[in-house]
């Protein structure tokens, strides 16, 4: 026990502690200055020796070493008075931010190495270097506890000092050299780069075994550049004689190639050829061909090749401002931006990098006057677009849902098929032409563009205006395209126009990972690349997966090879590992319990919760999991699809619930009309008793509907939200009346909302409609629930581009994955298979595929994809 006064020091706060000592913030009552006091937990330390040692240590004056001042003795305890650092330990930084980018790690390591070298030059070893003993104040690192491990751990452990997962093999035998500190630094560097300790295990014996085995090359993630890998391997070599002789030597090897230096350096530049790219990546990156396509499966390093290409171009004298890089998603853009700036060590805003929408907007901003937008333009959200079409439809007295026309207009623009040539009924075609013209005119007059216009008008501008086009042809010498398989027709045409005659194309893609065909994605662009770019073109294949173990590659390839429309590929891995486990559980609840138990046991063995992902075909299938994880206090993040609330069916049903909970005139008229144009707003203008009037309306249908709705409104407060929804589905005939949308798609969307309502009714104290409406409002306005830390709950679509050591694909049964809606055509089933393939290949170490044997008391069948993957 430490009372508030420790000698002349007033204890103010506990700052931290290890197994053998605690550190307190204390104020020196004589001079009023704050210090940190480290107090051994055991009894009296070997005081005379300690004082002698502290005399030596107090002479350690280095900007990255916490200063020793004196020793204080109080009530049989010994306290070492140290400089107080007001900042977290490196452990907290690792916990919150690791893996850190290489530039930051280099900056940290530089300071650590400088301090360690300085101490070693004075013959002082640290003996317990670990993140807890490195404090961070702003950007400055300070190492604490130099030479103290020996004293603080007392006689009992005098022969062995240190913290097991950071201790060199010789330290386990009680022998310490300066190379032992370098070993610990290697472990710290590994942890900064990966967020994981390479040796950590449940028991001390296992930790010792891991330390003896040492770090193997395959333990280091492939994204870490070669120089860092090699430096870490040498620093942590089991034999101390094979390690670096000094910390500075370690650091100079560590930063040999990055950051600030190219990740690839090719012949002809007078430098040694050395890089962190594989041979096949290097070959692709340095392709001399005008049109290059790099095809590779999951984890084969396509993005790395893409960055490699950029750096190769810059190294070869290409002006970065003449390089255009397109990505499919904003997330992809941000990832690339971060990685490129990390490698180039500079701001990358001068490079044309963005999604198609971002690039197109940038082009239009300077040239929109050429296409009739003389005052510039603003982009309208899809909600306004739909409302505008509603108005046009009303004015033209056309009885079709606006969402359907919006979809057709969008399809026409993205596929470059004019409405005249679309394969739809003549009457509908005529209406579409009419509406499209009116809609375009309205936008042009008001200076608006919708989301599709941005791309379509860029295409039009480049196609029709040779001056603008040639300007960009001169600007862009090289165009780099990520996720080539996801381009739609108009995006591909824009690329060709921007390339002109002399531009070079470098694209990466994988037709097996094309999961956006329903949005217009054209995986056939990958297959027909050589046909389109006949001359001076080349396809390179990346075959080695750095992410997946062989055990996962084999079933994944089994599965995807069932697709007919695909390019045959080879994929292999040097990693022998990876495990696939298939589990059939009795119910979905048992499924969730199984996942939970695996996560808990994994966590107990030292895995971080961030290492787990639960992937389902649809978001709603994951809700079961977030309640189970929440109950067990396991951190998780879940992503909702914000577009869900914008779906036509959902909008109608939510408006129906709103009408029941708070009736107002316009929605009432809408639900009496139900698209039949039986009554108009004008008819009831200024009439407050509109419900009564409609109940006596001469039209029988209006009368009946008004009577039904008014009686329902009266009962609304006693209705459960799920019951009200069921009535809504029946009343609106939603499952019958939305044209051109398959029954299954609609029923899945409506089912998702219905599940939310049932779940809400089961869990909530208030089950009324109003409470349900505010609940879903909250749910979907947030998008993400909880922090981004913890177990990831994601839909298969959102999982693309991510990777996790442990993945659970849940609800792998017929009807859920593959979804019913994909049974109709081979094309859709093939896309669904690609989706399952994408989900499978997110796992780097362990993949669980799980399915319930019954769902809603009906027995279900294991997904055909599981059978195909296993060859059964």
Partner 1 sequence: MEDFDIKIGKPSYLSNLIIYPAFGDENSLALVTLEESHNRGGTRILETGVVEELEIDHSDGDLLFIHEGEEIIGARQNRIFATSMILPMGRKRVPVLCAEEGRWKGGQELAPSGYIAYPRVRSIISRTITIKKKPSQNEVWREIKRKQTTMRVSSKTRAMTESFSAKEEELSFYREYFPEREQIGFLAFTNLRFLGGELFFSTDFFQKFLNKLLVSYGLDALEDRMREGEKPQSRPEEVIEAVRKARLREAETYGVGEEMRGVTKKFVLRLLLLTGVIVHLSVLSR
Q: Which of 7, 56, 73, 92 binds partner 1 (CB under 8 A)?
A: 92
Which window, 83-91, 267-275, 651-659, 755-763, contacts partner 1 (CB under 8 A)?
83-91
Q: Tell me, by CB under 8 A, how many residues bind partner 1.
A: 24
Closer residue to partner 1 in complex, CB, 43/268: 43
Lookup result for tokens 């390093």: 301
493 near partner 1, judged by CB under 8 A? no
Rounded to an integer, what distance in angstroms lies between the CA atom of residue 49 and that of residue 712? Answer: 87
Query: In sequence order, which residues have a C-beta less than 8 Å from that of residue 45 and are 6 or more positions away?
Result: 78, 151, 152, 154
1 near partner 1, judged by CB under 8 A? yes
89 near partner 1, judged by CB under 8 A? yes
11 near partner 1, judged by CB under 8 A? yes
Closer residue to partner 1 in complex, CB, 92/290: 92
24 near partner 1, judged by CB under 8 A? yes
604 near partner 1, judged by CB under 8 A? yes
3-class DSSP state of 42: coil
Rounded to an integer, what distance in angstroms lies between the CA atom of residue 113 and that of residue 105? Answer: 12
Rounded to an integer, what distance in angstroms lies between the CA atom of residue 872 and that of residue 866? Answer: 8
Q: Residue 635: what are its φ and ψ, rounded to 5°?
A: -65, 145
Q: Which of 91, 142, 229, 333 binds partner 1 (CB under 8 A)?
A: 91
Q: What angle do CA 127, 131, 134 make, to 5 degrees?
A: 80
- Could you check whether the bond before residue 99 is cis, i.e. omega within 30 degrees of 0? yes
Closer residue to partner 1 in complex, CB, 19/531: 19
319 near partner 1, judged by CB under 8 A? no
Q: What is the 3-state secondary structure (H, E, C) of 186-202?
A: HHHHHHHHHCCCCCCCC
| Subset of residues 539 to 598 that bind partner 1, contact rule: CB under 8 A | none
CA neighbours closer than 13 Å in the CB half-sphere of residue 2: 29
What is the CA 224 to chain-centroid distance, rounded?
A: 19
**Helix pair 426-446, 402-415: axis angle to 10 deg:** 80
Q: Which of 14, 381, 425, 766 binds partner 1 (CB under 8 A)?
A: 14
631 near partner 1, judged by CB under 8 A? yes
| Subset of residues 633 to 662 that bind partner 1, contact rule: CB under 8 A | 633-634
Active site residue 128: yes
Q: Which of 7, 27, 41, 759 binds partner 1 (CB under 8 A)?
A: 41
Burial of 382 (0-12, 13-18, 19+ CB in 10 A): middle
* Active-site residue, selected from the candidate residues 28, 117, 128, 511: 128
Q: Are strands 21-28 and 34-40 parallel, antiparallel or unpaired?
A: antiparallel
3 near partner 1, judged by CB under 8 A? yes
Tokens representing residue 94 in the block = 């690792």
Which window, 87-95, 225-233, 398-406, 433-441, contacts partner 1 (CB under 8 A)?
87-95
Contact call for residues 526 and 563 (beta carbons, < 8 A): no
73 near partner 1, judged by CB under 8 A? no
Nearest to 314 by CA among 354, 286, 280: 286
For 6, the enclosing helix (H) or strand (E) is strand 5-6
Closer residue to partner 1 in complex, CB, 12/122: 12
600 near partner 1, judged by CB under 8 A? yes
> Least distance (Å) from partner 1 to the CB of residue 93?
10
Give the contact letters, 291-310, x = binds to partner 1 (CB under 8 A), - = no: --------------------
> Least distance (Å) from partner 1 to the CB of residue 83?
19
> Least distance (Å) from partner 1 to the CB of residue 75?
10
Rounded to an integer, what distance in angstroms lies between the CA atom of residue 84 and that of residue 68? Answer: 10
Q: Which of 320, 459, 632, 859 binds partner 1 (CB under 8 A)?
A: 632
Which window, 174-182, 352-360, 625-633, 795-803, contacts partner 1 (CB under 8 A)?
625-633
Give the contact letters, 199-228, x = binds to partner 1 (CB under 8 A), - = no: ---x--------------------------
H helical segments located in 716-768: 721-732, 734-737, 743-763
Closer residue to partner 1 in complex, CB, 90/481: 90
Q: Can you name the residues that pair with 83 across neighbouring β-strands?
A: 35
612 near partner 1, judged by CB under 8 A? no
Tokens representing residue 828 in the block = 């859709």
Closer residue to partner 1 in complex, CB, 88/214: 88
Lookup result for tokens 């907290």: 92
The residue ranges that bind partner 1 (CB under 8 A) are: 1-4, 11, 13-14, 16-17, 22, 24, 41, 88-89, 91-92, 202, 600, 603-604, 631-634
Residues labelled catalytic:
128
């Amino acid at each position: 026990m430490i009372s508030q006064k420790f000698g002349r020091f007033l204890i103010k706060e506990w700052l931290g502690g290890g197994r053998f000592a605690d550190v307190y913030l204390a104020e020196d009552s004589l001079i009023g200055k704050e210090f940190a006091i480290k107090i051994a937990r055991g009894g009296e330390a070997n005081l005379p020796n300690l004082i002698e040692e502290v005399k030596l240590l107090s002479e350690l004056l280095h900007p990255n070493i916490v200063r020793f001042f004196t020793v204080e003795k109080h009530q049989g305890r010994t306290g070492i008075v140290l400089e107080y650092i007001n900042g977290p330990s490196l452990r907290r930084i690792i916990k919150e931010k690791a893996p850190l980018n290489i530039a930051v790690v280099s900056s940290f390591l530089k300071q650590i190495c400088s301090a360690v070298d300085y101490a070693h030059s004075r013959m002082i070893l640290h003996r317990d270097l670990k993140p807890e003993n490195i404090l961070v104040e702003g950007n400055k690192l300070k190492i604490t506890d130099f030479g103290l491990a020996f004293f603080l751990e007392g006689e009992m452990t005098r022969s062995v000092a240190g913290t097991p997962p950071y201790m060199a093999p010789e330290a386990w035998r009680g022998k310490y050299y300066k190379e032992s500190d370098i070993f610990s630094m290697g472990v710290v560097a590994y942890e900064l780069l990966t967020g994981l300790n390479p040796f950590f295990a449940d028991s001390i014996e296992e930790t010792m075994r891991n330390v003896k085995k040492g770090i193997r090359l395959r333990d280091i993630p492939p994204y870490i550049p070669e120089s860092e890998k090699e430096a870490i391997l040498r620093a942590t070599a089991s034999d101390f004689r094979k390690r670096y002789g000094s910390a500075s030597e370690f650091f100079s090897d560590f930063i040999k190639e990055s950051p600030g230096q190219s990740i690839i350096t090719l012949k002809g530049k007078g430098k040694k050829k050395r890089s962190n790219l594989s041979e096949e990546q290097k070959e692709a990156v340095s392709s001399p061909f005008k049109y290059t396509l790099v095809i590779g499966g999951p984890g084969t390093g396509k993005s790395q090749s893409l960055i490699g290409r950029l750096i190769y171009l810059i190294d070869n004298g290409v002006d970065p401002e003449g390089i255009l890089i397109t990505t499919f998603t904003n997330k992809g853009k941000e990832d690339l931006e971060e990685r490129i700036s990390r490698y180039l060590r500079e701001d990358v805003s001068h490079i044309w990098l963005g999604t198609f929408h971002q690039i197109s907007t940038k082009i239009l901003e300077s040239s929109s006057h050429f296409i009739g937008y003389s005052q510039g333009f603003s982009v309208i959200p899809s909600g306004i677009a739909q409302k505008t079409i509603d108005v046009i439809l009303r004015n033209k007295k056309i009885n079709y849902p606006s969402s359907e026309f919006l979809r057709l207009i969008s399809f026409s623009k993205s596929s470059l098929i004019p409405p005249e040539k679309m394969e739809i009924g003549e009457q509908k075609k005529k209406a579409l032409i009419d509406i499209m013209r009116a809609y375009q005119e309205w936008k042009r007059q008001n200076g608006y563009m919708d989301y599709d216009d941005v791309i379509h008008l860029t295409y039009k501008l480049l196609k029709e205006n040779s001056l603008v086009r040639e300007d960009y042809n001169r600007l862009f010498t090289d165009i780099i395209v990520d996720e080539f398989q996801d381009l739609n027709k108009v995006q591909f045409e824009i690329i060709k126009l921007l390339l002109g005659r002399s531009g070079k194309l470098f694209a990466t893609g994988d037709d097996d990972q094309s999961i956006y065909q329903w949005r217009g994605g054209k995986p056939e662009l990958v297959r027909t690349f050589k046909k389109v770019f006949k001359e001076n073109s080349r396809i390179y294949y990346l075959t080695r997966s750095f992410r997946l173990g062989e055990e996962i590659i084999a079933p994944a390839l089994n599965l995807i090879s069932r697709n007919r429309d695909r390019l045959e590929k080879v994929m292999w891995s040097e990693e022998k590992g990876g495990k696939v486990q298939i589990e059939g559980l009795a119910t979905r609840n048992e499924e969730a319990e199984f996942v939970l138990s695996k996560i808990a046991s994994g966590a107990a063995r030292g895995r971080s919760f961030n290492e787990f992902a639960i992937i389902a075909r649809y978001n709603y299938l994951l809700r079961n999991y977030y309640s189970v994880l929440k109950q067990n206090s396991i951190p998780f993040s879940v992503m909702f699809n914000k577009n869900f609330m914008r779906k036509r069916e959902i909008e109608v049903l939510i408006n129906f619930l709103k009408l029941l909970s708070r009736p107002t005139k316009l929605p009432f008229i809408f639900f009496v009309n139900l698209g039949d144009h039986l009554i108009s707003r004008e008819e009831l203008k200024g009439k407050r008793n509109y419900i009564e009037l409609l109940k006596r309306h001469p039209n029988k249908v209006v009368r009946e509907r008004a009577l039904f709705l008014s009686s329902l409104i009266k009962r609304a407060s006693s209705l459960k939200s799920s019951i009200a929804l069921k009535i809504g589905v029946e009343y609106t005939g939603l499952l019958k009346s939305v044209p051109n949308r398959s029954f299954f798609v609609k029923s899945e969307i409506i089912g998702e909302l219905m599940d939310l309502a049932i779940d809400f009714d089961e869990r909530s104290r208030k089950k009324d409609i109003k409470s349900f409406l505010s609940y879903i409002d909250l749910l979907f306005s947030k998008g993400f629930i909880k922090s981004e830390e913890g177990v990831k709950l994601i839909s298969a679509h959102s999982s693309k581009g991510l990777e996790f050591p442990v993945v659970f694909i849940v609800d792998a049964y017929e009807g859920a994955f593959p979804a019913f809606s994909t049974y109709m055509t081979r094309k859709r089933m093939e896309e669904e298979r690609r989706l399952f393939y994408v989900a499978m290949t997110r796992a780097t170490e362990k993949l669980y595929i799980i399915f319930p044997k019954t769902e809603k008391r009906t027995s279900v069948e294991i997904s055909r994809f599981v059978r195909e993957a296993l060859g059964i």
